[in-house]
């Protein structure tokens, strides 16, 4: 889901070219990719594999030979056992063409649930009121895409703890004149503010 976020796949390849060890943190996006929905369960089952959502997520990373270590948080002994079992079967370049097609299908499904198609280009960040527009939209999308209201609210409260929340918008419209996606940013900021309560 995050191949184009921060350094992403390009950064991964660059670090590998420099023969640097690569450690992946938050491989399941704080656990949201380990949650099953009816839709994603059907999509994953369509390829005839009985892997859990967590195993699918971890195997995606282990399939990349550039990655050295995957750090996965675990909160129960069963999760430890499941991750160890998955790791035994997770090897670079082991996923089949059919497996990779399932990832693309699931990714397309998740992306179809996005409410705000912000690309985080940050051209809008001339905001005189200090609103962190891309972060506001990302946390709003997390609620819609992953049905993760609690996690998104925690993230929103964390990054807005020192300012930057959607309610600071003064409705000037400068951001909209700079947005290459032509998003109705002010309208979306009102939606974000209503969802998170500030």
pLDDT in tens, 112-147: 999 999 988 899 998 999 999 999 999 999 999 888
117 in a structural domain: no
- DSSP-assigned beta bridge partners for residue 69: 23
57 in a structural domain: yes
| Residues 69 and 23 sit within 8 Å (Cβ to Cβ) | yes
126 in a structural domain: no
| Residues 88 and 149 sit within 8 Å (Cβ to Cβ) | no
Same domain for 69 and 30, yes or no, is yes
Same domain for 160 and 86, yes or no, is no
Cβ-in-10-Å burial (0-12, 13-18, 19+) of 62 comes to: buried
| Domain-ending residue, one of 79, 112, 145 | 112
What is the average pLDDT across 75-98? 88
Alpha-carbon gap, residue 127 to 39, rounded angstroms:
38
167 in a structural domain: yes
| Residues 132 and 140 sit within 8 Å (Cβ to Cβ) | no
SS3 118: coil
Alpha-carbon gap, residue 17 to 52, rounded angstroms:
32
Same domain for 93 and 166, yes or no, is no
Q: What is the pLDDT of residue 68?
A: 93
Q: How confident is the model at residue 42 (pLDDT cuts 50, 70, 90)?
A: confident
Alpha-carbon gap, residue 86 to 72, rounded angstroms:
12
From the list 93, 103, 82, 179, the residue with the least C-alpha distance to 137 is 179
Alpha-carbon gap, residue 114 to 25, rounded angstroms:
23
Q: Does 157 have pLDDT greater than 90? A: yes
Same domain for 160 and 76, yes or no, is no
Read off the pTM. Answer: 0.70
pLDDT by residue (tens digit) across 71-83?
888 889 998 998 8
| Domain-ending residue, one of 78, 112, 146 | 112
- Please give the tally of structural domains in the chain: 2
| Domain-ending residue, one of 80, 112, 144 | 112
Q: Does 44 have pLDDT greater than 80? A: no
Q: How confident is the model at residue 12 (pLDDT cuts 50, 70, 90)?
A: very high
Read off the tokens for 141: 């999308």
pLDDT by residue (tens digit) across 17-28?
999 999 998 888
pLDDT by residue (tens digit) across 175-184?
999 998 899 9
Q: What is the pLDDT of residue 22?
A: 93
2 in a structural domain: no
Same domain for 104 and 41, yes or no, is yes
Distances from the Cα of 120 to the Cα of 74, 75, 103, 113, 159, angstroms? 30, 32, 23, 17, 15
Same domain for 64 and 103, yes or no, is yes
39 in a structural domain: yes
Domain limits for position 169: 133-196
């Amino acid at each position: 889901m995050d191949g184009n976020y921060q350094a992403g796949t390009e950064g991964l390849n660059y670090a590998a070219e420099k023969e640097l060890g690569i450690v992946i943190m938050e491989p399941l996006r704080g656990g949201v990719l380990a949650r099953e929905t009816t839709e994603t369960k059907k999509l994953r089952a369509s390829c005839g594999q009985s892997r859990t959502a967590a195993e699918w997520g971890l195997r995606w990373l282990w399939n990349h030979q550039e990655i050295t270590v995957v750090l996965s948080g675990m909160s129960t002994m069963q999760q430890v056992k499941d991750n160890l079992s998955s790791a035994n079967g997770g090897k670079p370049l082991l996923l089949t063409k059919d497996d990779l097609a399932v990832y693309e299908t699931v990714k397309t499904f998740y992306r179809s649930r996005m409410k705000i198609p912000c690309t985080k280009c940050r051209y809008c960040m001339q905001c005189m009121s200090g609103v962190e527009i891309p972060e506001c939209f990302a946390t709003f999308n997390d609620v819609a895409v992953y049905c993760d209201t609690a996690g998104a609210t925690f993230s929103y409260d964390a990054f807005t703890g020192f300012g930057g929340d959607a309610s600071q918008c003064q409705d000037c419209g400068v951001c909209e004149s700079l947005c290459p996606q032509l998003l109705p940013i002010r309208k979306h900021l009102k939606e974000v503010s209503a969802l998170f309560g500030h």
